[in-house]
Structure 1
Amino acid sequence: MNSKINFNPKQINKKLLSVLPKRAQDVLVKRYGLDKDAEKQTLESIGSSYGITRERVRQIEDYAIRSIRKSDEYKNIGSYFDQLKALIEALGGVVSETELLNQAANSESLRNHVH
């Protein structure tokens, strides 16, 4: 099966991240590997770069995700979730995370944006 999504996850994430303060954006980008090198960083490594604890990084990450979910930008992306749901259904309704990401995106960097 060669189903792909019909939207650019990087652009969607850019819109969602735009509702956050710079540091919260940076934490999510580093934590989920949303930058060019697609390298996911640990709470410890992110904390070290800011001189803060892992717990503080986790709090910033939690704040950022909650803020995104409350934003108007998040409310406007429902059709993209519908596309992912349709892809899951096309794959039989139950699919491993790895298989879904492989079907939805063709590079590690892009898979991080879908994930």
Structure 2
Amino acid sequence: MRSLRGLVVAGALAAGLAGVAAPVAHADAVAYLVNVTVRPGYNFAGPDAAIAYGQTICDRVAGLMPYGQLVEQVKSDFNSSDYYQGAYLINQAVNELCPAQIWQLRQSAGGYTVPA
């Protein structure tokens, strides 16, 4: 009787948890704009240009551009040799504009080391 009761409780818990979905990450363009316009060095022409550029980063990540190549592209676009400036913008774009791509970005960046 005791094992039957445990089985019933376990089944009820499983049925209840089946209806609970993981939270869905949503884009937050305002947070992205605040973070990339406060930090010096990007000098976007305006908010629309900043968001458009962030979307190109999202597209590159979705298109499976390797992380190292992505960093180099961002550095080139901003005429910068600063790895951290490029990485920061990539991080902000993916986290705030296309959070569904976070896993892909992490996969691509796995094992990447900053060139000396």
Q: Which has the bigger relative contact order, CA under 8 A and spacing at least 6?
A: 1
TM-score norm. by structure 1 comes to 0.32
TM-score norm. by structure 2 comes to 0.32
